[in-house]
Amino acid sequence: MKIRKAVFPVAGLGTRFLPATKASPKEMMPLVDKPLIQYVVEEAIDAGIREIIMITGRGKNAIEDHFDISFELEHTLKGKNKNKLLEEVQKISNLVDFWYIRQKEPLGLGHAILRTKDLIGNEPFAVLLGDDIIYSDIPVIRQLIDIYERYNVSVIAVEKIDRKEISSYGVIECKGIDDSVYQVLDMVEKPSISEAPSDLAIIGRYILTPEIFTALEKTEPDKSGEIHLTYGLRHLLKQQVIYAFQFKGKRYDAGNKLGFLKATVEFALRRPDLGDDFREYLKGLEL
Ligand code: G1P
């Protein structure tokens, strides 16, 4: 079955970027001049996704406005003959169909995804987490769709991570199937270094079969009341095979300050209109 829908959980509070995120969503922070969320939405669209479901929360209205028509702005740009900017602004609202669901309480990624059960229905779908920004030739979610189309099972993106940082991720235990393709045998959410079953960490791109919803319904919340997607996937494993794919691309963890800074610098250096001047500036820096 074709993957047409993608889920974007964007209800997180963004506490790591306070005070910047006090009154505006972390997903709207820009890398150069484009909000983080738009990079990920464009990745989905380039991969052939035609419907996007965002799970939002309080204070996230700017995301809805960003992907909507902005009548006053378009009118002003038209009046001033700023056609290039007008095109850029209109392109965003014409991208695809957007749906918004509110997650009333921060009860975890699994809980957020469960909210989309009725909108997704009985078809496989993609999940993209906005903290993971990935620069690649082929959109990473497309790479996962290709694996899904080959094997017809849920597919999760993984990356080899330095053991020191493994405790920030879901980690898989697996066996190799093909070049960069693994069969998941088990998984654990944010293990200690000694408990991590491998150095393959789950990155925020997933293709999920609709059976994930019943699996999530069976998933117990943790001590803080959160339902983890990783543990929903663990339930799904009892019923279905899950594969992991070591994607090709450079990932930035834009959910932490250093990762965000690295992404900003590298995306700016890649820009044809800024790259050369910015590189010269960086070379000459004396601090
Ligand atoms: C989530 C998942 C985790 C995954 C990570 C990827 O964690 O729960 O399994 O490794 O995304 O970015 P979060 O970063 O939201 O705490």
Spatial CA neighbour of 172 closest among 250, 266, 88, 243: 243
Task: Give distance in angstroms: CA of 158 to centre of ligand 1.
Answer: 11
* pLDDT greater than 80 at residue 94: no
The residue assigned the tokens 């963890």 is 253
Task: Give distance in angstroms: CA of 182 to centre of ligand 1.
Answer: 19
Whether residue 206 has its Cβ less than 6 Å from ligand 1: no
Spatial CA neighbour of 159 closest among 123, 106, 204: 204
Domain count, the chain: 1
Whether residue 31 has its Cβ less than 6 Å from ligand 1: no
Whether residue 204 has its Cβ less than 6 Å from ligand 1: yes
CATH of the domain at 107: 3.90.550.10
Mean pLDDT throughout 104-129? 95
Mean pLDDT throughout 88-111? 86
Contact call for residues 47 and 5 (beta carbons, < 8 A):
no
Q: What is the dihedral of CA 26, 28, 29, 30, to 10 degrees?
A: 160
Confidence of residue 286 (pLDDT cuts 50, 70, 90): confident
Whether residue 230 has its Cβ less than 6 Å from ligand 1: yes
Domain that holds residue 39: 5-283
Which three-class secondary structure string do you get for 43-63? HHHHCCCCEEEEEECCCCHHH
Whether residue 253 has its Cβ less than 6 Å from ligand 1: no
Contact call for residues 50 and 57 (beta carbons, < 8 A):
no
- Summarised one tens digit per residue, pLDDT across range 147-201 is 999 999 999 999 999 999 999 999 999 999 999 999 999 999 999 999 999 999 9
Average pLDDT across the chain, whole number: 94
Whether residue 172 has its Cβ less than 6 Å from ligand 1: no
Contact call for residues 188 and 230 (beta carbons, < 8 A):
yes
> Quick one: pLDDT at residue 273?
95
